[in-house]
Amino acid sequence: MPLFVGPYEKMRIFYTRSKLENFCKESQGRLSFVPTMGALHDGHMKLVQAAKKEGSLVLVSIFINPKQFNNLNDLDKYPVNLIGDLSLLKQNEVDAVFIPTANDVYSEDTNSNVELPNVASVWEGAFREGHFQGVVDVLSSFYHLIKPKQVFFGQKDLQQCMVVGEMMNTYFPNIEFNMVPTHREKSGLAYSSRNERLSEEGRNTASQIFKSLNSLKNNFNESCLSEERKKITKAGIEIEYLEKISLPEMQVDRSCSNQGAIIFAGYLEGVRLIDNILF
């Protein structure tokens, strides 16, 4: 009988590395890992559901990684809801949760000097200095500790998927990378922990982002792009970027080809929102 398969009442919670290490050893290479920063929502649960493939044990981490925040204000305001998170994870029959402290994650033996791929230098990399280094550092530490069979990330963070996918090819080729399609509210707004900081009106306004992405996917040319930029700005959203890009390089591609993606980042009510749509 497998040791840890069972009803959700048996969800295990680990606060220290040493306890987690035993669990990982006993899981015999069947671990599906979903890294998160908490404030969980239905979008995260789509990752959990994808991870719950037959025979796999699902481990979710909750760790607000200070290294990936270039803006201390953003870190301070990052939503926290541990009780709600644990209840959602139990409802979704997750096998184990890891809630480490920064000391456990960043110790000398997990410091592995991971180099960033080129795709990390544009867009989010340019607007949020140090962000991706923080992301790959924390993931590298988790992977050394957990040795998962597979990992799951949301398409909403498309550039994170590109950066992490490439870094895993280089440093962790035996771990399988999975990208799960973006889960959206009825209005089209992509689920995000940051949405909690939007007012009701803000959430309605933010639905313009997906409308514009969709419209550009259906019909892309430079004049449509400037039209959609105007619509988003008029709705009260301050655009950082709205662009058509190639994949996986994420270079600007204004051609009318049905390839690559449209990506967006901007601010509404002081909240930074990102989204994308694939061709």
- Active-site residues, by number, are 44
Q: How far is the CB of 138 from ligand PAF (least distance, A)?
A: 5
| 36 lines the binding site for ligand PAF (CB under 6 A) | yes
| 32 contributes a contact to ligand PAF by CB under 6 A | no
59 Cβ neighbours under 8 A, 6+ residues apart: 23, 24, 27, 31, 32, 33, 34, 94, 95, 96, 97, 98, 146, 148
Residue of 11, 24, 37, 89 that binds ligand PAF (CB under 6 A) = 37
Contacts of 21 (CB under 8 A, 6+ apart): 145
Interface region with ligand PAF, contact rule CB under 6 A, candidates 32-40, 122-130, 167-175, 183-191: 32-40
Nearer to ligand PAF, 75 or 126 (CB): 75
**Which residue lies nearer to ligand PAF by CB, 110 or 214?**
110
Residue closer to ligand PAF, measured from CB, 36 or 208: 36
Contact 177, 153 (CB under 8 A): yes
Contact in structure between 126 and 70 (CB atoms under 8 Å)? no
Residue for token digits 């990378």? 177
Q: CA-to-CA distance for 197 and 202, rounded, in angstroms?
A: 9
Nearer residue to ligand PAF within complex by CB, 135 or 179: 135
Which residues of the shown chain bind ligand PAF in the complex (CB under 6 A)?
35-37, 65, 68, 135, 138, 157, 160
